[in-house]
Amino acid sequence: MNEKTIWDFLLKETNNERGTAAIMGNLMAESSLNPRCVTGIKDPEYICKADNEEIDFAHDGHAFGLVQWCYHTRKAGLQKYAKNTGRSVGHLQMQLEYLVKEMSESYKSVWKAVTEATDIRTASDIVMLKYEKPAGTGEAAKAKRGAYAQKFYAEFANGSTSQNADTQVVPVVKRVEATENVRIRAGDSKSYGQVGSLKKGQSMEWVATSNGFHGVRMKDRVGWVSADFSKVVG
């Protein structure tokens, strides 16, 4: 799966599990970790046309790839790197290499944050605000990316980086337990729609807490339950 491939590559480059998780949480929010993700167009030949320079890939305004590169100079850089390395613009490994190159050379403060990260949420916010720069940068957007990052950390982190080289760290898995029957919402406020529910006494894996809501790990997303009707245990 792309998740493990991306984790292993970024961990090797950053040598920091928390920073790797922070990047991945942002990529998940941007593209669901799909290097062929294109926003604003439904053209099955889009990538082929870009590779063959049949379209103005850099200036067409469509967000593309893991990062959802959109600004023309960044897309031009991605296309040039793909061409110079003999690979498609939609190639996963190529995009990961370019991400590291771009971040370490052009976004040095972000690279420093992810390679020296001690707190996942802080690093995630920096990646979001200074590298991804999405349209929405409020607390809900930050919490969503931070929750994704926590999920990846809980799944893949094992203390194998040099900062933890002498020990094997097994992340503590906390759970959110419903103290009353409670709705699971799509975001961290009552304005978000319901995506599930928990009965009193049931629990799910905790991934984050934001705005009076606890994030829980669902099969294909992070859901949110009110802290008024649930508690974190473990």
Alpha carbon distance 223, 192 (integer Å): 10
Sign of the CA dihedral 158, 68, 74, 106? negative
CA dihedral 28, 29, 34, 37 (to 10 degrees): -170
Domains parsed from the chain with CATH numbers: 2-162 (1.10.530.10), 175-233 (2.30.30.40)
**Least confidently predicted of 35-49, 105-119, 139-153, 212-226:** 212-226
Task: Specify the pTM.
Answer: 0.71
Q: Is the pLDDT of residue 200 over 90?
A: yes
Placement of tokens 């992070």 in the chain: 222
Higher pLDDT, 6 or 168: 6
Of the candidates 111, 101, 108, 104, the residue with the CA atom closest to the CA atom of residue 78? 101
**Residue 70 amino acid letter:** C
Read off the tokens for 170: 């097994």
Query: Alpha carbon of 200 to those of 174, 180, 226, 229: distances in Å?
Result: 17, 4, 13, 9
Is pLDDT above 70 for 220? no
For residues 214 and 227, the answer to whether their CB atoms sit within 8 Å is yes
Cα radius of gyration rounded to whole Å, the chain: 19
The Cβ of residue 62 has, within 10 Å, a number of other Cβ atoms equal to: 18
Residue 191: other Cβ atoms inside 10 A: 9
Say which residue, 9 or 221, is predicted with more confidence: 9
Place of tokens 């337990």: 177
Distance CA(88)–CA(108), nearest Å, equals 26
Mean per-residue pLDDT, 131-157 = 91
Q: Which of 86, 87, 54 is nearest to 65 (CA)?
A: 87
